[in-house]
Amino acid sequence: MRWWDLDAVLAIEGELFPEDAWSPGMFWSELAHARGAGASRHYVVAEDATGRLVGYAGLAAVDGTGDVQTIAVARSHWGTGLGARLLSDLLTAATAFECHEVLLEVRVDNARAQRLYERFGFEPIGFRRGYYQPGNVDALVMRLSGPAAPAAPTALTSDVVPGEGVDGPTEGPFDAATEQPPEHAPERAPETAPRAARETETGTHG
């Protein structure tokens, strides 16, 4: 993801997460930490055959721990497996950052997204009460130990993907799929705390 992608990114962000979309400044701040020798972020975009941006994802890496920041897939590409491929890309980046674990949050009522994460090797480790607002929905915290940059399982090509476009987790957070209207954690400065993963229905999430 580069600065010239932000208009398209923000359009998808606003559509999927109308109540708590990231501001342009939040994305600029994340991208400022994504380049150079001291980079601690990895942000990627996906384009269709015409060059139109149809998805994006981000990972933060601090002291050997990766945190899925966001995964979002345009509605036109739900059901294509793009969310799973974006998650796989984030795990590849986590390996490059030498992360010994990757964390994410997912809504407790989003069983489909949880199954996706489990297929990638994530395991539940706890809860965050009232993490997703509005709605006061708890978050299930999941962890993947020693990510080995696995390829997206072929069985996921028509499954739900992470995408609650990961403040905390999330082609929202991530962004994983949900059958509820997309929501994610309240806006927080990315430099100080990762946002909760957001989840969106990818139709196949994150």
Nearest residue to 68 (alpha-carbon basis) of 45, 101, 28: 101
Instruction: Give the active site residue among 105, 171, 183, 199.
Output: 105
Cβ pair 78, 100 in contact under 8 A: no
Residue 105 bears catalytic tag: yes
161 φ, ψ (degrees, to nearest 5): -120, 160
| Pairwise CA distance, residues 123 & 104, whole Å | 10
Could you give the CA distance from residue 97 to residue 133 in angstroms, rounded to a whole number? 31
The catalytic position among 43, 56, 117, 132 is 117
CA distance 151 to 100: 18
> What CA–CA distances, in Å, run from 69 to 58, 105, 162?
5, 9, 11
Question: Which residue's structure tokens are 């139709």?
Answer: 203
Residue 117: active-site member: yes
CA torsion, points 115, 167, 97, 121, in degrees to nearest 10?
A: -10
Distance CA 162, CA 167 (A): 13
Catalytic positions are: 105, 117
